[in-house]
Structure 1
Amino acid sequence: MKKLIFCCLVIFMGACKDKDKDAEPENDFASGFVGTYQTTTVENGLATNHIWDIQKVNNNQLKIVYDRSYTVEIPGETVVRVHKTELGNVTTTSADRFTINETVVVDQGSGVTRSEKLEGQGTKVLNASGNQQINIDLKITNTATGTSTQPYLEFKKK
């Protein structure tokens, strides 16, 4: 009888073991990306200044406020147009990678908007100067027309 009670006690103690104690905590990679990043591109005489303001939303989730300032020189004046985009569901997949896969509304200024799908995988690296930057092939698709561009961007941390 004593052996039966002892066996039941051992089984009961095993069943009551704290299973969460052995679980590994979830890594938070989002904090390593927080900051402001910038790059400038020139294509066909069109200079574009890209700025990313990256903020942490939750563990492994980022928000990126993406401003693109287009500068065009026309005889007698310089025209600057700013497009503002907010990406609210950027997922970090490791300490040096995140994924963008969102359809967003782009504010083109003066109340004009359009819808774009942004896709890409960003990689955080240290450049030759030892400064942090994010490299990405960012596919930008106009959802109304289906036309897309895929610039390679190197965002340097400010």
Structure 2
Amino acid sequence: MKKLIFCCLVVLMGACKDDKKDPEPEADYAPSFVGVYETITVEGGVTSRYKWDITTETKNQLNIKYTKNTEITISGTKVTLNQEYPLVAVKTTAQDNFEINEKVNVTQSTGEALNVRVSGIGSRIVNTNGIPQINITLKSSEASTSLPDEEIYLEFKKK
């Protein structure tokens, strides 16, 4: 009888043993996005050059120095507007995806103050030419004006 009780205890202790090992550390996807990405759009006499300089300081978080340089030709005269959006809390959500959702104080060449909410989900792919790129539908809105929200699809190619 003692042997039977002992065997039951051994089996019971084995069943209660914690089989979980140390949890796997969360993967850091941010470093794979680091680099400079650019794209250009031309529409109705307006040329916009977009540049993202992506860095990382924290696990799964990106900093994007987003610059937008716009040239408008009106009656043969070029008018330019340069804007810088410091995106500092961009979260990587998977190996090839990240999410932007933050309010930004935009620095403009006109000197005028601009506070914008920028949002979108970026997806990294390799295009048919073998060049890494980030595709994103970027949304921006400014609460202080009655201007409509802007939504633009962009394909940033890595330089």
Within 5 Å, give how 1:1-150 maps onto structure 2. 22-145=22-145, 147-150=148-151
TM-score scaled to structure 1, two decimals?
A: 0.84
Q: Please tell me the residue identity of whatever aligns with 2:126.
A: L
Whether the 8 Å CA contact 2:38–2:51 is kept in 1: the answer is: yes
Q: How far off its partner does 1:95 sit?
A: 0.8
Q: Please tell me the residue identity of whatever aligns with 1:39.
A: T
- The gaps in structure 2 that reach 5 residues or longer are 1-8
Q: How far off its partner does 1:76 sit?
A: 4.6
How many Å separate the matches in 1 of 2:120 and 2:109?
A: 25
In structure 2, the residue corresponding to 1:140 is in which secondary structure?
strand
Identity over aligned pairs, percent: 41
Task: Report whether the alignment pairs 1:154 with 2:155.
Answer: yes
How many Å separate the matches in 2 of 1:102 and 1:143?
A: 13
Show CA shifts across 1:6-48 (max 9, x none).
Answer: x9xxx9xx99x9x8x6110110000010000000012221100
Q: Please tell me the residue identity of whatever aligns with 2:69.
A: S
Q: How far off its partner does 1:81 sit?
A: 1.4
Q: Please tell me the residue identity of whatever aligns with 2:150.
A: T
How many Å separate the matches in 2 of 1:67 and 1:103?
A: 15
Whether the 8 Å CA contact 2:61–2:92 is kept in 1: the answer is: yes
Q: How far off its partner does 1:110 sit?
A: 4.2
Q: Please tell me the residue identity of whatever aligns with 2:154.
A: L
Q: How far off its partner does 1:143 sit?
A: 2.2
Whether the 8 Å CA contact 2:100–2:121 is kept in 1: the answer is: yes
Q: Please tell me the residue identity of whatever aligns with 2:84.
A: K
Q: How far off its partner does 1:114 sit?
A: 0.4
Whether the 8 Å CA contact 2:81–2:110 is kept in 1: the answer is: no
Could you say what the CA RMSD is over the residues aligned between the two structures, in angstroms? Answer: 2.3
Q: How far off its partner does 1:61 sit?
A: 0.2
TM-score scaled to structure 2, two decimals?
A: 0.83
Show CA shifts across 1:94-119 (max 9, x none).
Answer: 11000000010111124322011111
Deviates more, 1:67-76 or 1:34-43: 67-76
Q: Please tell me the residue identity of whatever aligns with 1:96.
A: D
